Every structure is written in structure tokens, then in C-alpha cells.
A and B are shown apart, each in its own frame.
Chain A
Amino acid sequence: MQIRRERSLWPTLAVAGAAAIAVGVGSAGGGSGHMSIKNAAATTSLQITTPAATKSVNSVTWGLYRDVDSVDPIFGFDYPENTVDSALCDALFRQTPAGGRVPGLALKVTNPNPTTDVFTLRPGVKFWDGHAMTSADVVYSLQRAANTKVGGFYTSIFDRVKSISATGPLQVTLKLTQPDEWLLGELSSLPGMIVEKSYAEKAGTKYGTMGVGGMCTGPYMIKSWTAKNGLIAVKNPHYWDKSIHPWVKQYIFKGFSDSAMTSGLETGAIGITYSTDPTILQALEGNKKLSVTQGSSYITDALIVGNDKGVLGNVKVRQALSMALDRKAYIKATYQGDAQMPNTLANPGTWGGYQPSIFQAAYNSLPSYATPNVTAAKKLIQQAGATGKTITIGMSNQITQIQNAATTIEDAAANIGLKVKLKTFPAATWIDVFTEAKARAGLDAFFVLSYPDYGAPEGQYQQFVLPTGSLNYSGFSNPQITKLLNQSRSTANPAARARLVVQAQKLIMQQLPWIPLSDPDTVLVTQKNLTGAPASFSYMYAPWAAVGLGGH
């Protein structure tokens, strides 16, 4: 759901390979059937899985772009914390490698009436310390995630929840103001991860920090955690899911600078990483000791329109600019040629496990951005009376992906009669654009890489099209879109829900509150002697990568 923190020289999240898309779904969980996304430029497939592992491995160093700062799920949102939390903790539901949803710590949800959710919890689950998980722990974890005084990042997902209570030793009941399907998706992500009540209460505000650690139920548990050696996690011998057999005995999760990541991968010091820097892939792609796999992702790469009162406040101008962008060149330069054409602002990876046929048809029916249409764009600009006007764009020239994006925008603008003024921020303060209104002052637009908490396009859209969305910087508010999305939120039937989202999506792609640049892929890099981790975004929310990786 959030943008990642940008590090200087760390562009983006997707990567190399050949252009576009067929999603082969061979998920390890309960994913949906096989699906193929047709696209004008489609030539190769995006994998989800890699060949299964067959041998155990003693220790693997997992490379992150920086060290983990907390294992408290309610303060996690960025790559390092998500990667580690997904291996250490279980959520009420689990995301499959394709992005679908299956039972996790909750076996099922029943609705005695539309505004009551009754969760039946899985019996026999133990925390790492051997204590049994009960409804008290679940109630505690959810209330903690919802509590604004605790200051977690996910309080807003509970805005339809009236009460959370334990109605049995393994039963939790939520009373809602309206039905809420989105909540179930969120509970398959970090806010739904369950921690032990007694441990967390004792730790207080220090829960999840280096000195104190955490207490979860996941397939790996913390053995030691120091700034010097990183976070070392070992297999949990009492893990409840007997269908899972992790091959790797110990993971060392550590942060590395980009050059150290490259040399670490080349020398075998680092066993696995989900690369967030396309530039190192150029060096690694030819390397015989490494396997590089591109897979589906949830990430959206876009230009946020932050000021609806400026030149970009006119929808014709937004449409024109979007139409004129040379995305092929941008994708080639930035992602070494591989990311999806963003017919939809939500990445196709978000529907791999959720009504793929409905969303696929919608994706195919939307205008493809493969070829820029400068003539039509110029006409729109003239109609809008915007010829010769200037747009101010916030960017960071220390972040390659953003630099490329800015160049792409400038070229397109020049072709259609718009002027562009760039306001640059150093990489270290780039984040201020998102957190401080002062930093955004004077900007018409700025760049973003964002992803939803779970596999659903609406999870991405609600962040920036709903008036109350956490990434809605312009105050964008379209009553029809809002109505459709809110309706979808209350719709239990997945197909009906997907159809509502598709209608909203059509309007969103007409209105373009964000101008899409690309839908990047996930890139998995491992030593050649390791295999088994899925090449999808699921590593951010579920343990499939940690438990699947092994030797062969």
C-alpha cells in the first residue's frame, strides 16, 4: 500500500527480461487456474514459481536494500520489513504466490448477518515459545493494529469496524458498520499478522525492536538480531502447517549497499534477493553462477497529479500527456525492457489470483499504451487551451528510475506543446515530498512507486482515488468512482465485486488522477544452486519464498 523509501541511486522494483506477459499460475497454495494475458507486445512469460527445491541448505544470506528496523507488523510496509515479517509471522489469511487468498490462522469467516464477521481460528497453532494461540491473542493483535494511540500504520483499514471481541476460545467476532470485503484482504497482509498478547504487552512500545524481538507463529523464528550480524532466523520446529517443509535451516537477513549486493551475489556471499535495483541486473544477467527470474508484481509506477487546480487539473491535459508518453523507450531504459504496459494503473499481478478472466478482459479492452499518439494528444491540448503552458514536476535526479521518468515526460510534453519545469530533490529528502505539504508546494505532479497490501486492483485504487485515500494528494474526488468502489467494498461475491471494480477502473483510466508510466515486474536473483522461491510479489506478504527456497 505504500511507496517505498527511495535510497539514492536505487530506482525501482522491476526488471529485466523480455517484454510482457503471460501469467502462468502454478501456485503452491489455492490459486486460481491458468491464465494468459494477451498484449500487443507480448512475447514471453512472467513466471510465478521456480522449479521445486530438493535439498536442504544450512544457511542462506538474504540480501535486503537496508537492514530491518522492526519486526512489528503494524510498523512494516517497506521491502525489508515485509520480507522478514512474512517469514516470521502468520496472518489470519494467506496470500498465494499468484495473489489469491487462502486460510491462514483463520480457517474461515462466516456472516450470520452482513455486518458481522465471525472468524473461526485454526486449532493447534503455537507461538515460538510454545504457548498456544487463542482468540485473546487475535483480538489483542487486531485491536493493537486499529489503535491510533499505538500509532501503527494500518489504523484506517478498520474504519468500518465497530467492535472486535473474542466469542470463544478459537472464535473472534467483528461487528461492522457496513459489510467490508476489503478488510479481509487487509487481514491477509501485515495488519492481520498475529502476535502473542502476553509477550507484546510485556514489551510495550519496544515490541518488535532489535533488543526485544517479537513473538509470532511463523515457519521461521528469530535466533539472534544485532546491528553487526543482521537478523538471523532459524526453522520453527513446532510450525503448525505440516504441509510446509522448509529446506533452509537458517536465514541471515541483512542490508547491503548496491555495490555490496552485486559483489555479494557474484561471490556467493548472498544467496537470494528480490532485486529493487534494475541497474545491477545488467551486470548479473550474464553471470553463470546466478539465476535471474522475472515474475508478476503488485507495483504501480506512475506520476501523481498532486495539484488539481493547476494545468494538470484539466482531464484533457492529463489524457494528452499520458497518450504522448513513449513507454516502450522508458521501460527499455529503466527496466531493461521488462515491465507491463499500464493499460490499468493497477499492475496485472494484482489480479493473478482474483477473478483473472474478468480483469484480463478489462485490461485487454482498455487502450494500449504501446504506441504514443502525439497527434491526438496535441489536439486535446489545444482543446484544453493549454498549449504553451508550464507544468512543474517534482523529481530526484539521484534516482535513476525517476530521472528516466522525468525525461520521458519532458519529451512527451515537448511534442504536444506543453512546457515542463523540473524541481529536483536530493534522494535523501525525496521522501519529504510525500510527507510534507511544504515540500509539495508549487508542484503539479511527482513520481511514485506504490503497491497495495494484497492482490486486488481495488486495494491499489482506493489509496489514491477515494477522497480519504492515504495517497490522494490532489483531493481527487469523482462521485461515480467513489460510489462504485465503496459498493465493491460491501460486495461479498468475488465476481460481482470484480465487475464493480472494473467499471470504476474504466473511469479511473479515463480520468487519470495518476498518469501511469509502467507496471514493473518482480525480479528474483538467487545463486544457481538454489531454487524454489516464487518470483512473485508474494514474498512481501507470505512465507512461500522463505519456505520454498532450497538446494537442488
Chain B
Amino acid sequence: MAATLLVSSFVIYGALYLAPGTPLAALSGGRNLPPSAVRVLDQRFDLNQPFLARYWHWLTGVLHGDFGYSVVHQSNVSTLLGQELPITAELILYAGLLTVVFGILLGALSALRPGKVDDFVLTLTAGSAAMPAFVAGIVLIIVFSVDLGWFPALGQGASFISRIRHLTLPAVSMALAGFALIARVTRTSMREQLQNEHVQTAVSRGVGYGQIVRRHVMRNASIPIVTSFVVVFATLIALDPVVESVFSISGIGGTLVNDALEKDIPSVQGVCLVLVAAFVVLNTVVDLAYRVLDPRLKGRT
């Protein structure tokens, strides 16, 4: 895990310098600045030091919780992250919850009720997987915010209830593709389990339907579902900047988009690192979860 993070950090740091443009352009905004102003800005934001020196400086800072100074927002990146990370976390969690709950529900329904219900779920998931998140977001805004006025069109809200109202449409936009995947995987996996010998044995022994589904089917079906969820979670993280932009949510994703355009390199590096770290940590957690779900894996790495 540490090695992955280290390599990622170098890639993140280096990639931004390959892109053309400098923060100076954003700060000066097109004026021909007097040389004195350029000197002051260069000094203040370390724009003239060699690459490796800057990388080292940044990396050691990060390990102390100092992500550098945002040139565009004129404040510490760690302050920005601190303010905005909770919102992004809430949004991703909300979307993740919707994905899992509705995905598993509909997938299970589809597996246990073949025929018309199954067909309906298949069509629904095909449609939802095909729609890009930002298109979904805009359509949802038009229908539910502008026309019906049921949900706010932008921002993240202050109080708990307000936050849920504000984050519902964004979470739904983000969940669409992932929920389809989870539903399909659940359906396939459960169907497979339903045909297994031990399930047939339980049925013939008169074990209750509910118990069969819970103990014999779901538990074994869950491993592929959990694997899919990791993929879905990565998608949620990737979709987060897009959706936050569309809904003007002040999370780290929205900041990433804005600041990348404005060449605010420290801020973009900080956000990328956080997102990558989140993904790496999630993977580790899931690995541990596997061992709980499948005791056969306990012995191996």
C-alpha cells in the first residue's frame, strides 16, 4: 500500500508539470506584469526551483499534513481540503449507499422473480448504465429542480435535512452506472448460487425460503458483489468531480476541476493524492472483508 501511494504521488506531482502553463498566468490574469511583480510571485510560490527539489519539499510537507499553499485560493491546501472533504465524503457515501441498496435489491428481485420482473430490471439497468453522469445530472436538474422545484439545483446545503435534499440529485446521477452493475452482478451471482447443490439439498430438506436465501445464497453470492462494489466505488470517485461541477457542490471534486483550469498546481496535487489514497485504502479494506466473508481465504495472503 505504501509503495503504491509513493509511486502515485510522484506521478501526480510530475504529471501536472508536463501540462503547459504556470500558476503565474492565472495570477497575473493576462496583464503584462511589471518584472517586480513577477519576481515577488515567483519567490512566494517557489516557481523557479528545480523539479526534484520541489517534489521532495512537497512530499515531506504532505507527510506532516502540509499540502502546500493554493496559489489561486490564497490559502493552505490542507485548509481547503479540510473544509471540502466532508462534503465529498458525504456525497460519495450517499451515492454508494444508493448503489448498494438499490443494486442488491433489484438484482435479488431479478434473480428470485424471473419473467416480467427480471426483464424490467434488465432494461432499467441497461438504460441507466448507458447514461453518462453529467447528462443524467443536467436532466435531473431540469426536471426536478427547474420544472418541479422538488430539489435544489446547486450547492450542498447547511443543515442535515438540507444536506440530504441538496445531495440527492447528485448522488442519483453518480449512482446510475454503478447501480446497474451491482444489480446485474447480484442477479447473476444469486442465480448461480440458487442452482448449487447445497442449496438444492437445503430445499429438499425443507429449510425455509428466507433462510435459504440469506444463509446459503446471499453469503456465497456476496463475494462477486463486493468485488464489483470496489470497481463501482472507483467509478464514484472518478465521477465525483464531474457531478460536483454540474451541481456546483463545494467538495474536493469541484475544486479539482476549477483549480486544474486555473493551473492551481498545489491544490490539484493535494486533491489527486487524497482521491488516490482513498481508493488504495478502500482496496485494502475490501481485501480484509473478503477474509471475513470467505473463511477459505484466511490461510492465504
Interface centre among A69, A228, A256, A432 (most CB of B within 10 A): A228
Contact of B25 among A148, A435, A473 (CB under 8 A): A435
Q: A4-B29, A69-B74, A256-B154 are in contact. Are A228 and B87 (CB under 8 A)?
A: yes
**How far is B30's CA from A4's CA once the two chains are assembled, in angstroms?**
7
Q: At the interface, yes or no: A337 with Cβ under 8 Å from chain B? A: no
Q: 1/0 contact trace for A198-219 toward B, CB 8 Å?
A: 0000000110111100000000
**In chain B, what residue has the closest Cβ to A152?**
B37
Are B146 and A260 in contact, CB atoms less than 8 angstroms apart?
no
Q: 1/0 contact trace for A1-45 toward B, CB 8 Å?
A: 111110110000000000000000000000000000000000000
Are B250 and A5 in contact, CB atoms less than 8 angstroms apart?
no
Contact of A267 among B28, B29, B72, B146 (CB under 8 A): B146
Interface centre among B24, B29, B33, B76 (most CB of A within 10 A): B29
Size of the B side of the interface (Cβ < 8 Å), in residues, is: 50
Are A153 and B31 in contact, CB atoms less than 8 angstroms apart?
yes
Q: At the interface, yes or no: A229 with Cβ under 8 Å from chain B? A: yes
Q: At the interface, yes or no: B228 with Cβ under 8 Å from chain A? A: no
Q: A69-B73, A269-B154, A432-B20 are in contact. Are A148 and B34 (CB under 8 A)?
A: yes
Contacts of A8 in B (CB 8 A): 261
Q: At the interface, yes or no: B258 with Cβ under 8 Å from chain A? A: yes
Are A66 and B26 in contact, CB atoms less than 8 angstroms apart?
no
**How far is B156's CA from A436's CA once the two chains are assembled, in angstroms?**
39
Contact of B30 among A149, A205, A266, A435 (CB under 8 A): A435
Q: At the interface, yes or no: B211 with Cβ under 8 Å from chain A? A: no
**In chain B, what residue has the closest Cβ to A78?**
B29
Q: A209-B75, A227-B255, A267-B145 are in contact. Are A470 and B32 (CB under 8 A)?
A: yes
**In chain B, what residue has the closest Cβ to A5?**
B29
Contacts of B16 in A (CB 8 A): none
Q: A149-B40, A429-B20, A435-B28 are in contact. Are A259 and B138 (CB under 8 A)?
A: yes
Contacts of B21 in A (CB 8 A): 428-429, 431-432
Contacts of B84 in A (CB 8 A): 227-228
**How far is B282's CA from A52's CA once the two chains are assembled, in angstroms?**
57
**How far is B87's CA from A66's CA once the two chains are assembled, in angstroms?**
19
Q: A5-B30, A435-B25 are in contact. Are A266 and B37 (CB under 8 A)?
A: no
Q: A70-B74, A227-B250 are in contact. Are A434 and B32 (CB under 8 A)?
A: yes
Q: 1/0 contact trace for B229-260 toward A, CB 8 Å?
A: 00000000000000001111010000100101
Are A205 and B44 in contact, CB atoms less than 8 angstroms apart?
yes
**How far is B154's CA from A436's CA once the two chains are assembled, in angstroms?**
37
Contacts of B80 in A (CB 8 A): 227
Q: A151-B41, A257-B245 are in contact. Are A267 and B31 (CB under 8 A)?
A: no
Contacts of B33-69 to chain A: CB distance below 8 A: 33-34, 36-37, 39-41, 44
Q: 1/0 contact trace for A282-300 toward B, CB 8 Å?
A: 0000000000000000000
Contacts of A199-256 to chain B: CB distance below 8 A: 205-206, 208-211, 226-230, 255-256
**In chain B, what residue has the closest Cβ to A434?**
B30
Q: A151-B40, A153-B33 are in contact. Are A269 and B258 (CB under 8 A)?
A: no
Q: 1/0 contact trace for B119-149 toward A, CB 8 Å?
A: 0000000000000000000100110011001
Are B74 and A2 in contact, CB atoms less than 8 angstroms apart?
no
Q: At the interface, yes or no: B263 with Cβ under 8 Å from chain A? A: yes
Contacts of B138 in A (CB 8 A): 259
The smallest beta-carbon distance between B35 and chain A, in angstroms, is 8
Q: At the interface, yes or no: B196 with Cβ under 8 Å from chain A? A: no
Q: At the interface, yes or no: B79 with Cβ under 8 Å from chain A? A: yes
The smallest beta-carbon distance between B24 and chain A, in angstroms, is 7
Q: At the interface, yes or no: B224 with Cβ under 8 Å from chain A? A: no
The smallest beta-carbon distance between B241 and chain A, in angstroms, is 12
**How far is B32's CA from A156's CA once the two chains are assembled, in angstroms?**
11
Contacts of B192-241 to chain A: CB distance below 8 A: none
Are B30 and A151 in contact, CB atoms less than 8 angstroms apart?
no
Contacts of B40 in A (CB 8 A): 149-151
Are A260 and B153 in contact, CB atoms less than 8 angstroms apart?
yes
The smallest beta-carbon distance between A141 and chain B, in angstroms, is 17
Are B248 and A148 in contact, CB atoms less than 8 angstroms apart?
no
Contact of A208 among B33, B39, B74, B79 (CB under 8 A): B74
Are B154 and A263 in contact, CB atoms less than 8 angstroms apart?
yes
Q: At the interface, yes or no: A187 with Cβ under 8 Å from chain B? A: no
Contact of A428 among B31, B32, B263 (CB under 8 A): B263
The smallest beta-carbon distance between B144 and chain A, in angstroms, is 10
Contacts of A274 in B (CB 8 A): none
The smallest beta-carbon distance between A254 and chain B, in angstroms, is 8
Are B246 and A3 in contact, CB atoms less than 8 angstroms apart?
no
Contacts of B145 in A (CB 8 A): 263, 266-267
**How far is B204's CA from A277's CA once the two chains are assembled, in angstroms?**
70
Contacts of B25 in A (CB 8 A): 429, 431-432, 435-436
Are A5 and B26 in contact, CB atoms less than 8 angstroms apart?
yes
Are B248 and A257 in contact, CB atoms less than 8 angstroms apart?
yes
**In chain B, what residue has the closest Cβ to A2?**
B31
Q: At the interface, yes or no: A77 with Cβ under 8 Å from chain B? A: yes
Are A3 and B76 in contact, CB atoms less than 8 angstroms apart?
no
Are B141 and A210 in contact, CB atoms less than 8 angstroms apart?
no
Are B30 and A2 in contact, CB atoms less than 8 angstroms apart?
yes
Contacts of B87 in A (CB 8 A): 228
**How far is B83's CA from A108's CA once the two chains are assembled, in angstroms?**
46
Are B29 and A255 in contact, CB atoms less than 8 angstroms apart?
no
Are A3 and B30 in contact, CB atoms less than 8 angstroms apart?
yes
Q: At the interface, yes or no: A103 with Cβ under 8 Å from chain B? A: no
Are A156 and B34 in contact, CB atoms less than 8 angstroms apart?
yes
Are B30 and A267 in contact, CB atoms less than 8 angstroms apart?
no
**How far is B254's CA from A229's CA once the two chains are assembled, in angstroms?**
13
Are B72 and A228 in contact, CB atoms less than 8 angstroms apart?
no
**How far is B98's CA from A503's CA once the two chains are assembled, in angstroms?**
70
Closest 9 CB pairs between A and B? Answer: A151-B40, A148-B36, A260-B248, A209-B74, A263-B153, A434-B30, A210-B75, A3-B30, A151-B37
Chain A residues within CB distance 8 Å of chain B: 1-5, 7-8, 66-67, 69-70, 77-78, 148-153, 155-156, 205-206, 208-211, 226-230, 255-257, 259-260, 263-264, 266-267, 269, 427-429, 431-432, 434-436, 470-471, 473
Can you list 23 A-B contacts with CB-CB less than 8 angstroms, sorted by A residue number?
A3-B31, A4-B29, A4-B30, A5-B26, A150-B40, A151-B36, A153-B33, A155-B37, A211-B75, A255-B258, A257-B246, A257-B248, A260-B154, A260-B245, A260-B247, A260-B248, A264-B153, A267-B153, A269-B152, A428-B21, A431-B25, A434-B32, A470-B31
Supply 17 further A-B pairs (C-beta < 8 A) apart from A151-B36, A431-B25, A435-B30. Answer: A3-B29, A66-B258, A70-B74, A149-B36, A153-B37, A155-B36, A229-B250, A256-B154, A257-B245, A260-B245, A264-B153, A267-B154, A428-B261, A431-B29, A432-B21, A434-B31, A471-B32
Chain B residues within CB distance 8 Å of chain A: 20-21, 24-26, 28-34, 36-37, 39-41, 44, 72-76, 79-80, 83-84, 87, 138, 141-142, 145-146, 149, 152-156, 245-248, 250, 255, 258, 260-263
